A and B are shown apart, each in its own frame.
Chain A
């Protein structure tokens, strides 16, 4: 279980992330939503101990002895350009050791991904490789930063399903940062809402759908196209 107490990213002049406290249990899926610039990716980086230059990390992140945290990054730039994907995944897996062997059937990686270089991968293939890279090396918590940005509906659905399976079957605590509410809410147990580097609330998908949450949070739900009132612009 991961416990976060007062995690913040601050410099003398500016506060990028105000002190946040929450917990993430193994086997749970925690969704993180917010507008762009609200600090979602910064939160992921802070959990991995990284801050932008000139800023300091505050607060505490407490996890079990020997537990490994891993980030499934947003961009394929975290893959080495001159190494085959398969070789990099094996390199990641040896950080975890034997426990990584159960993870191999997640995210459906075939030779068309493992035997290629990062610049030869399509968007969907790259996302699967990034997800695999994180799940092969995490023993406790896996953070997925925008796992499906730019992917089509089927590809995104497959990845979200795998994330849910990872939580359920491998008992990983999975934190999913996403703005795709449609596919996040069905798998999330709880949802953390961020705004301008601050936590608005911690709620559940059911509450969001019903509107039994903060007004700002509910706006994310009502802003989905299927909930727009039919005030489509009339054709001239």
Chain B
């Protein structure tokens, strides 16, 4: 159908434009960083090597070329499918991403589902029992979470659950010495518990508040009032009318907040020393590992774009009402 292929083309065009702008901006910002890449590479020990060694190292790291030249070099590599070499991990960028991305996806994925389910349920209850103590508590909790810095909450969780109560591990994705996949499933969940909890709690506030408003709106609508006037119980009305009309907008919203979750994962992974892509990205930034940082930036741009695209498609598919629903 003509409209569909037009939509796909236009989405593709927007993606390309987005990636170009992201690449340019990221590279520019990187080139202005005050961190001395040589110093970062040598772990602060830049005075431990001689001048000729410094020059050789600079050449190896392509630091003798201009920003423009380095960008072109990277882009030509990208065109060949080569994401470059990470000076921090001493591996190709693609293998760093392959190792670390699955963990991040797991963390973000679980938090996404968690904040949608919990957020929706709390919003639904708050809307149904509007003005009750439950509603007021849920609202205040949500506004608090909107203001709460995620790293602070993370540290709070660690000091309470890991140190004081000794219920959860203090850090990392697996016990010391093991990789993530080597441990038992129970142990995996044990290590995921606090990072997922942090991300879930912090990102669920918008869903709670939005769902609450939508549920109140639906409960006051003509079609719900009609059903109630014809003898339906509140439970029946919630099951038949309210859930469908409030869950679909919540899902659309949740897809659109993918970007926030990705950003939140950078902080959560750093605080919990969780070896995901977010943590790698932070380390790459601090070490001026250009190739790795650019690779991670591309991945994050793609993820955010996909989230927003799914949200757009879903909203067009579900919420087709002209005027007000």
Contact = CB atoms under 8 A, between A and B. Distances in A.
Nearest to A134: B230
A68 interface: yes
Nearest to A78: B226
B318 interface: yes
Contacts of A68: 230-231
Contacts of B230: 48, 68, 70-71, 92, 95, 137
Nearest to A69: B230
A224 to B, nearest CB: 32
A117 B325 CA distance: 12
Interface string B214-249: 000000011101100111100000001100110010
A92 B230 CA distance: 9
B320 interface: yes
A71 B222 contact: no
Counting chain B CB atoms within 10 Å of each CB, the highest count among A73, A77, A137 belongs to A77
Interface in B271-322: 318, 320-322
B226 A82 contact: no
A91 B322 CA distance: 24
Interface in A83-111: 83, 91-92, 95
Contacts of A50: 225, 229
Counting chain B CB atoms within 10 Å of each CB, the highest count among A71, A77, A79, A80 belongs to A80
Chief secondary structure at chain A's binding surface: loop
A80 B250 CA distance: 18
Contacts of B248: 82
Contacts of A150: none
Nearest to B240: A91
A79 B223 contact: yes
A48 B229 contact: yes
A54 interface: no
A70 B230 CA distance: 7
Nearest to A92: B230
A95 B320 CA distance: 29
Interface residues of B, number: 19
A129 to B, nearest CB: 12
B226 A81 contact: no
Chief secondary structure at chain B's binding surface: helix
B222 A77 contact: yes
A66 B320 CA distance: 39
A48 B241 CA distance: 20
A71 B320 CA distance: 27
Interface string A40-82: 0000010011100000000000000000101101010111111
A73 B245 CA distance: 21
Interface residues of A, number: 22
Contacts of B240: 80, 91
Nearest to B320: A119
Contacts of A73: 222, 226
A152 to B, nearest CB: 23
Contacts of B222: 73, 75, 77-78
A71 B325 CA distance: 21
Nearest to B245: A82
B75 to A, nearest CB: 46
A119 B322 contact: yes
A79 B224 CA distance: 9
A75 B222 CA distance: 9
A80 B318 CA distance: 13
A81 B245 contact: yes
A45 B225 CA distance: 11
A73 B240 CA distance: 19
A119 B226 contact: no
A77 B222 CA distance: 6
Given A77-B221, A81-B325, A119-B320, A71 B244 contact: no
A68 B229 CA distance: 11
Nearest to B226: A78
A83 B232 CA distance: 17
A83 B240 CA distance: 9
A1 B221 CA distance: 31
Contacts of A77: 221-223
B245 A71 contact: no
Contacts of A82: 244-245, 248, 318, 325
Given A68-B231, A95-B231, A81 B321 contact: yes
Nearest to A70: B230
A50 B229 CA distance: 7
A45 B228 CA distance: 12
23 contacts: A45-B229, A49-B229, A68-B230, A68-B231, A71-B226, A71-B229, A71-B230, A75-B222, A77-B223, A78-B223, A79-B223, A80-B240, A80-B245, A81-B223, A81-B245, A81-B325, A82-B244, A82-B245, A82-B248, A92-B230, A95-B231, A119-B320, A119-B322
Interface of B: 221-223, 225-226, 229-232, 240-241, 244-245, 248, 318, 320-322, 325
Given A71-B230, A80-B240, A95-B232, 7 more contacts: A49-B229, A78-B222, A78-B225, A82-B248, A83-B244, A92-B230, A117-B320
Interface of A: 45, 48-50, 68, 70-71, 73, 75, 77-83, 91-92, 95, 117, 119, 137
